[in-house]
Amino acid sequence: MDSEERITLIEANANPALWKGENLASASLRNKIKQIMAATLRRALEQGSRSTRLRSVLYQGVCQHRGLERICTVRLRCRSVVAILKIKTNFLTKLAGWFVLAVGSLGVHAQDLSPRAYVITPVNASTINLTWSFFDGGVNFNGTVPITGATGTYNVPVFGLYHSFALFGRSANLQASLPYGVGTFSGSVFGKQQSIYRSGLLDTTIRFSVNLKGGPALKARQYAKWKQKTLLGVSLKVIAPTGQYDPTKLVNWGINRWAFKPEFGYSERWGHWILDGYAGVWLYTENSASYDLPVPRPQTEAPIGSFEGHLSYSFSDRGWLSLDGNFWTGGVTSLSGIRNLDTKQTGSRIGCTASIPFSKHQSVKVSYSNGTYIRFGGNYQNVSVGYQYSWVGRPK
């Protein structure tokens, strides 16, 4: 549409009387407006209009134009309805994008709370972990979309493995976990209650850690005599996109991208007390098919810085109680190169964890955490109960 046509259309829209056939100055003006409307609606339908002003003109013009048979044919009226739906679809696409960011990621990666993650174990120590986690809470959209009462309730059973080994004389370990999620998410959109159910695999998580200071590789007999002082270590956590993901659905268990978290860890012991502190950053690859209409589009996410702290008290060799807290910030997303600053995440959680041994090889770990401040994303209460079976060398 050229500038003259655009002005004609806007002027006609600004004066509602012009849309009444009997008040039009001439048949030629009626035909001109009809042609402009048809051409504009066709382009909006085929290509999509990015001009907010033009969308408003189209919407108002179509509403005033509807039912006036002297100006528009049946075909044009049909295109008008489709164009209105197209405009509404564009808005719902943005709404869906925000919903994906706030709910789809489920907020479990940046919100880690893992006490004693850098405390070493004897070489060739292994553990099987069976954990059940329950999440219940809401989603904070930070006023970005007209969604109210957004909540999620879901269960995540996790199967995990742990094994320690020697690496250049230092203590190192490798962990892997495979979670499965089952839950329901709901919210009110424009006053209409909506809910969805999801069941499927989450992404696989693998973590490698190695001690840099204070934690040499020790056999079981040596470890029994060793006393922890100051420990320094580094780790790399990797999330592989193996979880359930469908780019045509708003909420998915998987994130459809690789994620990496390099981290530096510190641990110090004073008698029965242990203080832990970690600093890391989440790095994400591109999600090549993020939910969007009419077709999925590539999405990127900025790094998320994370900090974590724990203060724990040991009441036996493998029994302890910990007070946990963390803080994270970042994660602004871009869809097809367009940044959405409203998606920046800033939040923190606080909780507690207890490890209770009940035999030489078996123990139970129980934890609870809740959000203290969530600017954007999931704000859940979390309760976890895990069973651990541990051994050194071959299974006994």
pLDDT digits (tens, 9 = 90+) for 305-351: 999 999 999 998 899 999 999 999 999 989 888 898 888 888 899 99
Number of domains the chain contains: 2
Tell me which of 56-60, 70-74, 386-390 is least confident: 70-74
152 and 296 together in one domain: yes
pLDDT band at 382 (very low <50, low <70, confident <90, very high): very high
- 96, 293 Cβ separation under 8 angstroms: yes
Block residue for tokens 């490798």: 174
Nearest to 353 by CA among 376, 383, 322: 322
**Residue 31 confidence (pLDDT):** 64
Q: DSSP states of 198-253 as a string?
A: EEEE--EEEEEEEEEES-B---HHHHHH----EEEEEEEEEEES-S---TTSS--S
Residue 114: strand pairing partners: none
Average pLDDT over residues 99-110: 49
Q: Give domain status of residue 323, yes or no.
A: yes
**Residue 342 confidence (pLDDT):** 81
Q: Give domain status of residue 215, yes or no.
A: yes
Sign of CA dihedral 82, 84, 90, 91: negative
**Residue 340 confidence (pLDDT):** 85
Which of 42, 67, 92 represents a domain boundary (last residue)?
A: 92
Kindly state the tokens that stand for 229. Answer: 């002082």
Report how far residue 82's alpha carbon sits from residue 324's, in angstroms, rounded to the nearest whole number: 53
Q: Give domain status of residue 97, yes or no.
A: no
319 and 230 together in one domain: yes
**Residue 211 confidence (pLDDT):** 98
Q: Give domain status of residue 100, yes or no.
A: no
CATH code for the domain of 245: 2.40.128.130
Q: Which residues contact 227 (CB under 8 A, 6 or more apart)?
A: 269
Tell me which of 105-109, 342-346, 351-355, 383-387 is least confident: 105-109
Report how far residue 140's alpha carbon sits from residue 120's, in angstroms, rounded to the nearest whole number: 38
**Residue 11 confidence (pLDDT):** 46
88 and 119 together in one domain: no
**Residue 75 confidence (pLDDT):** 43
- Please check the confidence at residue 381 and state whether its pLDDT lies above 70: yes
- 76, 38 Cβ separation under 8 angstroms: yes
Which of 43, 68, 92 represents a domain boundary (last residue)?
A: 92
Average pLDDT over residues 200-226: 96
pLDDT band at 292 (very low <50, low <70, confident <90, very high): confident
Kindly state the tokens that stand for 260. Answer: 């990496």
**What is the dihedral angle through the alpha carbons of 289, 291, 293, 294, rounded to the nearest 10 degrees?**
40
- 247, 256 Cβ separation under 8 angstroms: yes
Kindly state the tokens that stand for 146. Answer: 């007209």
**Residue 384 confidence (pLDDT):** 96
Whole-angstrom CA distances from 194 to 12, 149, 151, 292 are: 40, 10, 11, 19
Which of 71, 92, 113 represents a domain boundary (last residue)?
A: 92
169 and 116 together in one domain: yes
Residue 170: strand pairing partners: 167, 216
What value, to the nearest 5°, has the Cα angle with vertex 273 and ends 327 and 368? 45
**Residue 108 confidence (pLDDT):** 52
CB atoms within 10 A of CB 4: 9
Task: For the sheet with 287-290, list strands across it.
Answer: 287-290, 297-301, 333-335, 338-340
147 and 67 together in one domain: no
- Please check the confidence at residue 5 and state whether its pLDDT lies above 60: no
237 and 265 together in one domain: yes
**Residue 336 confidence (pLDDT):** 86
Q: Where are the alpha helices (DSSP H) in the chain?
A: 3-14, 27-46, 52-65, 74-99, 220-225
Q: Give domain status of residue 98, yes or no.
A: no
Average pLDDT over residues 180-191: 84
Domain region containing 212: 105-392
Q: Give domain status of residue 134, yes or no.
A: yes
65 and 39 together in one domain: yes
pLDDT: which is higher, 112 or 110: 112
Q: Give domain status of residue 88, yes or no.
A: yes
- 357, 363 Cβ separation under 8 angstroms: yes
Residues 137-171 pLDDT 10s = 877 665 555 567 778 899 999 999 999 999 999 99
Q: Give domain status of residue 167, yes or no.
A: yes
Beta-strand relationship, 125-140 and 377-392: antiparallel
- 135, 382 Cβ separation under 8 angstroms: yes
Please provide the average confidence, as pLDDT, over all residues in the chain: 79
196 and 60 together in one domain: no
31 and 119 together in one domain: no
54 and 179 together in one domain: no
Q: Using N-to-C axis directions, what is the helix angle for 52-65 and 3-14, rounded to 10°?
A: 50
Report how far residue 174's alpha carbon sits from residue 256's, in angstroms, rounded to the nearest whole number: 23
Residue 239: strand pairing partners: 205, 259
173 and 147 together in one domain: yes
Residues 345-371 pLDDT 10s = 888 999 999 999 999 999 999 999 998
162 and 304 together in one domain: yes
